Structure 1
Amino acid sequence: MRVRSPTIDFSDVRPDWAPNREFAQYYNAASTVPAHVEPFLVKVMMRARDELAKRPGQQRLLEDVEIFIKQEVQHCKRHVAFNQRLYDSGYAGMRELEAPYEADYRRWLEDKPLRFLLAYSEGFEAMGSSSAEVFFTELDDYLNGADESAVTLWKWHLAEEFEHRSVCFDVYKALYGDGLRGYLYRLYGFVCAITHIGRHVKRVNAYLLAEDRCHLSEAQHATSVERERQVKRRIAKASLPRLLKVFSPRYDPATKQAPAGMAPYLEL
């Protein structure tokens, strides 16, 4: 693991950065997540780092936490810049949808115990490593002809998500154990994360597509709806088997094998 700070120019990126606009808008909606969850993760891991420091034999994990934090800061910066292009391209209404999502994280940092914050964070990271596997192995036809800046953003980000896939898991295990209670609470955090984040992405995606469709003919609208259905079905079909593995008591993200094509994005 190491910290990377790639230069990615978003100045010419269009909202329809992939030939399939519905595919692009799905990931445009998803891009709002790192802008808010990454700062949340940083704060959670800083608290966890303080707890880990009180325990002997955690130096290696503490070093991983430091790199994890710095990687997440870089992810947030790049997605904030990318999202600004979306706002400037006529989707300023995204901000209104992002506000309550961001507020959830602020409130949780004030009200929720570290156990929950870490379990949720690990849930997000489990989603992230699964998303990396899907993006690198299942979606090449959607990425053919896509804007290289947008593709680089997602492949670099998801490659790092896969690279640090074990950090939250290991921190949660170190602080709260891996017995039955630790296992069940980890699953609770995962379900909370996938539900909370999924609901937010669905709202933003619906807004983006509604904006795109407001001037379409009836036939064009129907075609767009069908493309959306196909995109979501493809992503769900590829994601579900990977996400179900998280429910296993033997789940360990460290055992996952890196998908082909990921290495060049870890050399940026």
Structure 2
Amino acid sequence: MSQQNNYSRTSASFPVRRMDYQFTHLPKYWCANDPIYTHFFTALSTLFPEGEAYFVRSVRKLRSQVQHNQQLDKDIGAFIGQESMHSKEHHAFHQSSQQHGLNPESLEKITGITLKAIEKIFPDKWNLLLTVGVEHYTAVLVAYMMKDVNQLMTDETIRNLWLWHSIEETEHKAVAYDLYQELYGNKLDAYIPRVALFSLSLVIITLLTHISQLVLIKRDKQLLNVRSWAKFLKFGFDSYRIFTPRFIDFFRYDFHPNDFDESALVERSKAKIALKS
């Protein structure tokens, strides 16, 4: 009985927030007033509805094996809640973007087909590891989003969507990793597949993002916009100079997502979008 009472007192380390953004009067180029920038972030966004659903499935399949760890079990529940809201809100954004005739919603389906094929082929451990890898990629990206990139977003609702998403990705960035360590430990036989699947996750997310970006650019008839490409390529080069050391950190034997403290960025971002909790 005392153990049951203990369990009821355990709460998740972060909240699940119920959001309902309204993407009305969405400008066509809402990032830096530029087509290539905008289509890159829209392409990245098209990965989220199906990608987050895949993450949820990967942790749900293994959750029952760690219910002895009450804190981790509660955090997995909150992780599922946050990721489900991200899927919902990014899907709503894509539906609203249909007004510009670029049909980003169709690109969600490509991601879904790809991930469902991977899910069928991979064992549960590898699906969890792919989630771990993409979660680290996302954690690196959203730190940059909170620090600088959000200032490029000229539409307030879109900016708030990305900042809210960034805050929550930072809050739950260690959950899938902690689930993996709880199940498989941190010795060499856990380390080797961890770094191998992280490398694969970088390839998958890079290919899917840039293929979707090119599709959107082609649909918008902006493939030959040299000035826009030049600005974006400089931005991309500068970004990867920042990202690469953080990606390399994942290959450390003793790596943990909480090695990096983004609490100041999170508090600043919460204040910017008036997020109280």
1:12 aligns with 2:25: yes
Q: Paired residue for 1:45?
A: 59
> Which of 167, 175, 180 is equivalent to 2:188?
180
**Which piece of structure 1 moves more, 160-169 or 16-25?**
16-25
The CA distance in 2 between the partners of 1:258 and 1:194, in whole Å, is 22
Does structure 2 retain, via aligned residues, the 8 Å contact 1:136–1:259? no
The CA distance in 1 between the partners of 2:235 and 2:33, in whole Å, is 9
> Which of 231, 239, 243 is equivalent to 2:243?
239
1:105 aligns with 2:150: no
Deviation at 1:168, TM superposition (A): 0.5
Q: Paired residue for 1:25?
A: 39
> Which of 190, 193, 215 is equivalent to 1:207?
215
Amino acid of the structure 2 residue aligned with 1:207: V
> Which of 152, 157, 162 is equivalent to 1:142?
152
Structure-2-length-normalised TM-score: 0.86
Choose between structure 1 and 2 for higher RCO, CA contacts under 8 A separated by at least 6 residues.
1
The CA distance in 2 between the partners of 1:164 and 1:15, in whole Å, is 31
The CA distance in 1 between the partners of 2:263 and 2:240, in whole Å, is 18
1:197 aligns with 2:201: no
- Specify every segment of 5 or more residues in structure 2 that has no aligned partner in the other structure, as ranges: 1-13
> Which of 220, 226, 229 is equivalent to 2:230?
226
Count how many residue pairs are aligned between Structure 1 and Structure 2: 258
Deviation at 1:63, TM superposition (A): 0.6
Deviation at 1:90, TM superposition (A): 0.8
Q: Paired residue for 1:66?
A: 77
Does structure 1 retain, via aligned residues, the 8 Å contact 2:102–2:220? no
Structure-1-length-normalised TM-score: 0.89
Deviation at 1:255, TM superposition (A): 2.1
Deviation at 1:140, TM superposition (A): 5.6
Deviation at 1:210, TM superposition (A): 2.4
What secondary structure does 2:30 align onto?
coil
Q: Paired residue for 1:122?
A: 132
Does structure 1 retain, via aligned residues, the 8 Å contact 2:150–2:159? no
Does structure 1 retain, via aligned residues, the 8 Å contact 2:95–2:105? no
Deviation at 1:232, TM superposition (A): 1.6
Identity score, percent: 24
- Deviation per residue, 1:55-108 (Å, 9 max, x gap): x4x11100100000000000000000011122332112x455443321122223
Amino acid of the structure 2 residue aligned with 1:5: R
The CA distance in 2 between the partners of 1:124 and 1:195, in whole Å, is 10
Does structure 2 retain, via aligned residues, the 8 Å contact 1:25–1:209? yes
Amino acid of the structure 2 residue aligned with 1:29: A
The CA distance in 2 between the partners of 1:233 and 1:197, in whole Å, is 17
Does structure 1 retain, via aligned residues, the 8 Å contact 2:132–2:177? yes
Amino acid of the structure 2 residue aligned with 1:158: S
Does structure 2 retain, via aligned residues, the 8 Å contact 1:136–1:260? no
Does structure 2 retain, via aligned residues, the 8 Å contact 1:37–1:105? yes
Does structure 2 retain, via aligned residues, the 8 Å contact 1:138–1:238? no
Deviation at 1:7, TM superposition (A): 3.0
